Every structure is written in C-alpha cells, then in structure tokens.
Amino acid sequence: MRLVDRLIAYEEDQMTEDEEIALFQYLIDTGTCWHLPGHYHRVGATLIEAGLIMPPEQATTSLSQPV
C-alpha cells in the first residue's frame, strides 16, 4: 500500500493499533513524520515516549546489529 493510502486509512480511523504503530515507526525512521502536520509530530513523540516505537537512531542501530 502506498504511503498516501496508509495516511488516509490512518486519518479515517481504518487501521488497527498495530498498523498505526508500524506506520509511525516508518514515518519516524524515514523522517517523514517531521514534514507532516503537527498532529503527526505529537503522536510520534508520544509513541516514542511510551516505548511503543523507537527513535530513529535506535531503530537504525538495532537493524544494523546482529541478533
């Protein structure tokens, strides 16, 4: 699904909680979150603070380290 379609689904409340978390992790990882309206900034920051998603530097580090 294209990003625009995922954003529309989010805005229309048509996503599960897991899908929303995955969307925001993607938005944070790519930096796209900070180019969207303020609501996305606040939700992204709240999810990071709650430990539901990782800040970009931690996501990148955990992806590059062997398991």
Place of tokens 């944070």: 28
Report DSSP state, residue 36. Answer: S
How confident is the model at residue 25, as a pLDDT? 97
* pLDDT, tens digit, 9 for 90 and up, residues 15-64: 999 999 999 999 999 999 999 999 999 999 999 999 999 998 765 545 54
How confident is the model at residue 60, as a pLDDT? 52
Q: Within 13 Å and on the Cβ side, how many CA atoms surround 27?
A: 26
Query: What are the residue boundaries of the structural domains of the chain, listed by start?
Result: 3-64
